[in-house]
Amino acid sequence: MYPQLKRGEVVANREIAPGIFLLGVRGKFAASPGQFYMLRAWELDPPLFRPMSVFALEEEAISFLYEVRGRGTGILSRLSPGKELLLLGPLGRGWDPPARPLALVAGGTGIAPIHFAAQIYGGDAFLGFRGKPYLVESFADWCRTVHVASETGEGGTKGLVTEIFRPEGYRTCFACGPEGMLRELYRLCSEAGVPLFVSVEERMACGLGACLGCAILTSRGPRRVCADGPVFPAEELWGDG
């Protein structure tokens, strides 16, 4: 599916936790799990689109889950229903159909692409939050089991998601979240011999593979996160080879 630049109408933009918004856009869109769109709801400043993973896809709508971090996401958070924004996508390479059983592990807004993977592939979800969990019930619609950890102990087991997840018994693990969480998962999955595929974030300019602004070094050489990723086998990022 080639990326297209489309205009979409906001149908909802709700703050579901402090600083975390769920944005719904009306229109016909396409994506596979782990892919993302570049969003823009402003004229000149900031100059670049902002990358956002697909949270969910329906026949006539697409949604994104985002945290307000700076100027771009601040503008997004002030969009009210009826307003328009530009969407460029679908972009990147996501998660291929997995060998099952599948474990889905996410931390914070890393739950966005993992939720879309759950919608398409199902599996067992392990979700980690800093404070009160959100959107857990939405995972229950798609997943066989949902396990929750939070650093405060609200709504789940007190602690980190890497403390409630055990990879033994799974044939594939998909994950997205802070790098520290992903590296610890890689350690756990390597010990258990379970292939881990992670979605990573980099600052992006074109989002189309042309500017090399998002290049990272992997065991297979330099790779563009926007075009060769954002999903990579964890061993290519952190393995010895």
Convert residues 180-219 into a mask of x (bound to ligand FAD by CB under 6 A) and - (unbound).
---------------------xxxx---------------
The CA distance from 91 to 54, in Å, is 10
Contact of residue 165 among ligand FAD, ligand FES, none (CB under 5-8 Å per partner type): none
Footprint of ligand FES (CB under 6 A): 204-207, 209-214, 224, 226
Nearer to ligand FES, 99 or 211 (CB): 211
Nearer to ligand FAD, 73 or 157 (CB): 73
Least distance (Å) from ligand FES to the CB of residue 48? Answer: 9
What tokens appear for 23 in the block?
A: 């944005």
Q: Which of 238, 232, 221, 161 is nearest to 198 (CA)?
A: 232
Contact of residue 98 among ligand FES, ligand FAD, none (CB under 5-8 Å per partner type): none
Answer whether 172's CB lies under 8 Å from 99's CB.
Answer: yes
Least distance (Å) from ligand FES to the CB of residue 51? Answer: 8
The CA distance from 167 to 97, in Å, is 18
Answer whether 16's CB lies under 8 Å from 22's CB.
Answer: yes
What tokens appear for 148 in the block?
A: 């929750």
The CA distance from 107 to 146, in Å, is 13
Convert residues 110-149 into a mask of x (bound to ligand FAD by CB under 6 A) and - (unbound).
--x-------------------------------------
Please state, as a whole number, how many other Cβ atoms lie within 10 Å of the Cβ of residue 112.
Answer: 24
Nearer to ligand FAD, 53 or 119 (CB): 53
Q: Which residue is nearest to ligand FAD (CB)?
A: 70
Answer whether 146's CB lies under 8 Å from 111's CB.
Answer: no
Nearer to ligand FES, 87 or 194 (CB): 87
What tokens appear for 167 in the block?
A: 């990879």
The CA distance from 163 to 147, in Å, is 11
Nearer to ligand FES, 90 or 207 (CB): 207
